[in-house]
Amino acid sequence: MLMEAECRANTAWSKWRQVTGAMCDKKVPLKLKSKIYRTVVRPVALYGAECWSTTLKHEQTLYTMEMRMLRRTHGIARLDIVRNEDVRSMFGVALITAKMREARLRWYGHVLRSEDSSVAKSAVNTTVEGRRPRGRPKTRWLDRIGDDMRLLKLSVDDVFDRRKWHNRTRNADPRPWETG
């Protein structure tokens, strides 16, 4: 999985370099840079995130990638001592880890609401017979889903109320330039 996270980060950097002309141009408004990041770069980094059983190391890899991109885009160095939260609020971008959680829970809700005969639902409900190997157990996808649901105080019954599930699992990007 670490290789997948690093591969996604490298692919996102490649996409960021393709649009670096607009991203690093001082004449381009910050609102447009944010829009480019949210619509072009971040989806590349999060491609397939619904199925990842991430660890803190994987999340840290993507978090670091995101912060380096945002700082370079705005021309803020680490030595400038600007907090990551401030950089993120300037761009109006939610945490990439929160977006990963949103993608996982969106897919989980979709699978649970599907018909009992669907392949995805049968794969989620399948258990492997036998003993696990010695040592610390590897993090499974359902373990991450359980952690995410506990964090958001959700239950399995909430999945079937689409409006509630949507409202509780979606993590919208803040928009500092919109007043209201």
The pLDDT, as a whole number, for residue 83 is 93
Domain count, the chain: 2
Residues 73 and 85 in one domain: yes
Residues 18 and 87 in one domain: yes
In this structure, is residue 49 part of a structural domain?
Answer: yes
CA distance 171 to 104: 12
Residues 105 and 62 in one domain: no
> What is the mean pLDDT, run by run of 10 residues, along the chain of 180 residues?
84 94 91 93 93 90 95 90 92 93 94 89 84 85 92 92 91 69
The pLDDT, as a whole number, for residue 2 is 65
The range of the structural domain enclosing residue 144 comes to: 100-123+137-169
Q: Are 153 and 138 in contact (CB under 8 A)?
A: no
- Predicted TM-score (pTM) of this structure: 0.86
The pLDDT, as a whole number, for residue 1 is 58
The pLDDT, as a whole number, for residue 5 is 86
